Amino acid sequence: MAVGDQTRGARPATAASAVGSASETAGNWLVNIPASYWIVGLVLVFMPAIASGFVLYQILGWAFILGMIALSLMFLAGYGGMVSLAQMSVAALAGYMVAILGTSGVHAISLGWPWWLYVPVAIIIAAIFGTLTGALAVRTEGIYTIMITLAIAAAFFYFTRQNYAIFNGYSGFASIFPPELFGVDWRRPIPFYYLTLFCAAGSYLAVLYVARSPFGLALQGVRDNPRRMAALGFNVVAHRIAAYTFASVIAAIAGILLVWQNAQISPGTAGIPAVIDILVIAIVGGIKRPIGPFIGALIYVVLRTYSPDVLEGFGLSGERFKTLIGLGFLAVVFWSPDGILGLWNRYRDRLRGKTDPLLGEKERP
Amino acid sequence: MTSLVQRNPGWTIVLALLGAVLLWLIVAPWPAGMEDMFGRKRIFLNALFNGITLGALYFLVASGFTLIFGLMKNVNMAHGSLYLFGGYIGYEFAEATGMWLLAFVFVFVFVGLLGIILQFVVFRRMEGEDLRQTLVTIGLSVVLADLMLWAWGGQSYQILTPDWLSGPVTIPLVSGTNRAGEAVYLTYPAVRIAILLASIALGVLMWLALNRTRIGMLIRAGVDDRDMLAASGVRVQYVFILVFAFGAGLAGAAGIVGGTFQSIAPGEDVRFLLASLVVVIVGGMGSILGAALGALLIGLAEQFGSVYMPTYSVVLTFMIMAFVLAFRPQGLLGRG
């Protein structure tokens, strides 16, 4: 598959070097953190000092949430070679569970459980759903996976729209608020910003960690050559399904944050356009590295928020931002299949005049 | 056929029994007890006929999809957009000229040309990179959907049935009895019957073209081994262009059919893309017969589901797909 082919060259090298450097300076890990992490981390932590509430809540908070859902897709696609379009549905299911088990505007359905009960239950249910999706999807490979997960996502959308007993049909649920923990109103911009930042950073680091763990390395081995891994005694199917479970947990956490941010959830949350958007975000950012989805999400959210104004400035209707996003996606897929990160890598390599280690000539762009 | 029966005697008996029960359900007038349990016979017959005609429409869309996939190994995610585009321009053409039949020819040629452009600009450039092709066509479908929304707005359009096909026809099947105790016969829209017959004819023609002609032989050879076909001196690119144009044109023509007995509106592109996906997953990739079987199954499941279990009809479709995937991942008639 194309993803596998493209990533094959880059991935094992970085994974191997990371393992090597970690074992050399195991006691002194704090020094080992790259400078870019410190800079980005400090900027993000002190962002509330410079940014307005709107930027914190509607742009950065939303970008973190979409980035987490796209991250779960990136984990499956980049490390497992499985492009799953059902991750948005997993996230939406977790959001629905928050509305159904917790409190919402629809008193007839919501059960009113306390947060410490409904949050873990929502994550577990969504993870089970994601695992079942994975169990179906891993029976096939490559583009078939895309088709089947797209069909599952569509079934989820139509089911939530038809079902009134549990999912309250077309209108969904409204007035779903996060719990007032430690006397903080988590819907205020600054607390919500830190909450999403914490979850996004946590899932980013979790993906980094899992990718370098024995499980993650075996998963990358399965992506590159399932037959050889099976011959070595690895259970290929189990590794793939476990990858779906892990990715679904990240998507579920993001789904809970999403429903708290919007205070509502409806079938449209996981409609086909939303599902495609997650794919666009992951691909535009780049599915080779876990930071890609967050970059893609930031670009998407900024475009989505400001492009109507720009389009209207050119005398076009603001609704045409979808064409803009679609054209941008097409441009990325046509000219840089590994996303914005790929562009950056090539630019850097050209600056350094890096040569291919095997052929001794300049790497082709 | 006889060897198949001899190999699976158990399944043959089960299938024959099911067929007999179905035939009895269709032909015989229902006794009173049955009507209490299952509702009126008219509803059952209507669901059956609607399911079959919906299956015919799905077949029109999905057969092009499955041919393109089988031959070129690319999933054309913009297939639904071609359907919707065909519906829109078919509507415009029919409104402008008032000729319903001619609209099919026009749309078939027009959307087929669009398909040739797609094949030249997109698919030839990234041959063999199936994931990239999929992503590009997803991007294209997003852009096309938005541009069509721009051009035609959010309202739904209905293509008018020509006079000679409008109105109902009576079918010699008893649908119930009236108060006087006389048998009432089923009436059904003529245009739907016409569409059903046309799709059956088209399916048979496609089967004949694939299995009895030279070009069909080339296509089947291409499905089996593209490289070997190219190596034996056939200009594979021409075969590709032909199949792509045909599949795209068929999707466009299906748009007119869909616009006549349902309606065309934004969102229909996604619906028919998904229907094609599910039909092809159930029936088996690259198989025309599989597409026909899958389309019939999905059409029936959707209609019976919406009549007998309204809130779970989607789940029924989905269950069929999951079931097929679980026990026969290559599809019912796909080659394993």
pLDDT band of residue B230 (cuts 50, 70, 90) is: confident
What pLDDT digit, counting tens, does each position of B242-267 carry? 888 999 999 999 999 888 878 888 88
Instruction: Read off the pLDDT of each residue in B288-299 and give the average, rounded to a whole number.
Output: 89
Within a domain: B323: yes
Question: ipTM, 2 decimals?
Answer: 0.75
pLDDT of residue A365: 43
pLDDT of residue A195: 86
**pTM attached to this predicted model:** 0.82
Interface test with B, best of A84, A146, A241 (most B CBs within 10 A): A146
Residue B181's domain is classified under what CATH number?
1.10.3470
Instruction: Tell whether A181 lies on the interface with B, counting CB pairs under 8 A.
Output: no
Whole-number average pLDDT of chain A: 80
Instruction: Read off the pLDDT of each residue in A238-262 and give the average, rounded to a whole number.
Output: 91
Q: Is the dihedral of CA A101, A105, A107, A108 positive or negative?
A: negative
Interface test with B, best of A73, A143, A287 (most B CBs within 10 A): A143
What pLDDT digit, counting tens, does each position of B117-154 carry? 988 888 877 777 777 888 888 888 889 988 898 888 88
Would you say residue A23 has pLDDT above 60?
Answer: no
The domain containing residue B196 runs over which residues?
52-327
Within a domain: A247: yes
Within a domain: A357: no
Instruction: Give the pairing type, strands B183-189 and B168-177.
Output: antiparallel
Instruction: Read off the pLDDT of each residue in B206-210 and give the average, rounded to a whole number.
Output: 87
Which residues, numbered 73 to 92 in chain A, qualify as contacts with chain B under a Cβ-Cβ cut-off of 8 Å? 83
Within a domain: B137: yes
Say which range, A29-43, B79-93, B211-225, has the weakest mean pLDDT. A29-43
Q: Do B313 and A162 touch (CB under 8 A)?
A: yes
Within a domain: A29: no
pLDDT of residue A22: 45
Which of A122, A169, A156, A130 lies closest to A266, judged by CA? A169
Would you say residue A94 has pLDDT above 80?
Answer: yes
What pLDDT digit, counting tens, does each position of A271-302 carry? 888 888 898 888 888 888 888 888 889 888 88
* Chain A residues in contact with B123 (beta carbon < 8 A): none
Amino acid, single-letter form, for residue A310 = V
The DSSP secondary structure of A245-257, one letter per residue, reads HHHHHHHHHHHHH
Within a domain: B322: yes
Within a domain: A187: yes
Within a domain: B118: yes
Within a domain: B32: no
B274 to chain A: nearest residue by CA?
Answer: A151
pLDDT of residue A244: 93
Q: Is the dihedral of CA A23, A214, B130, A154 positive or negative?
A: negative
Within a domain: A28: no
The domain containing residue A302 runs over which residues?
2-23+35-352
pLDDT of residue A11: 43
* Chain B residues in contact with A320 (beta carbon < 8 A): 146, 150
Higher pLDDT, B336 or A211: A211
Q: Phi/psi at B168 (nearest 5 deg)?
A: -90, 160
Residue A310's domain is classified under what CATH number?
1.10.3470
Token code pair at residue B243 = 């199949």
Euclidean distance between CA atoms A260 and A188, whole angstroms: 11
pLDDT of residue A17: 46
Within a domain: B21: no
Asked if A142 and A1 touch (Cβ cutoff 8 Å), the reply is yes
Instruction: Read off the pLDDT of each residue in A163-177 and give the average, rounded to a whole number.
Output: 80
* Domain count along chain B: 1
Within a domain: A18: yes
Percent of chain A with pLDDT over 90: 17
Euclidean distance between CA atoms B45 and A307, whole angstroms: 52
What pLDDT digit, counting tens, does each position of B61-77 carry? 998 888 888 777 777 88
pLDDT band of residue B283 (cuts 50, 70, 90) is: confident
Beta strands in chain B (DSSP E): 168-177, 183-189
Beta strands in B191-308 (DSSP E): none
Within a domain: B28: no
pLDDT band of residue A356 (cuts 50, 70, 90) is: low
pLDDT of residue B81: 92
What pLDDT digit, counting tens, does each position of A97-156 carry? 988 888 777 777 777 788 788 889 999 999 999 999 998 888 877 777 888 888 888 888
Higher pLDDT, B45 or B272: B272
Within a domain: A266: yes
Asked if A133 and A150 touch (Cβ cutoff 8 Å), the reply is no
Which of B324, B10, B39 lies closest to B175, judged by CA? B39
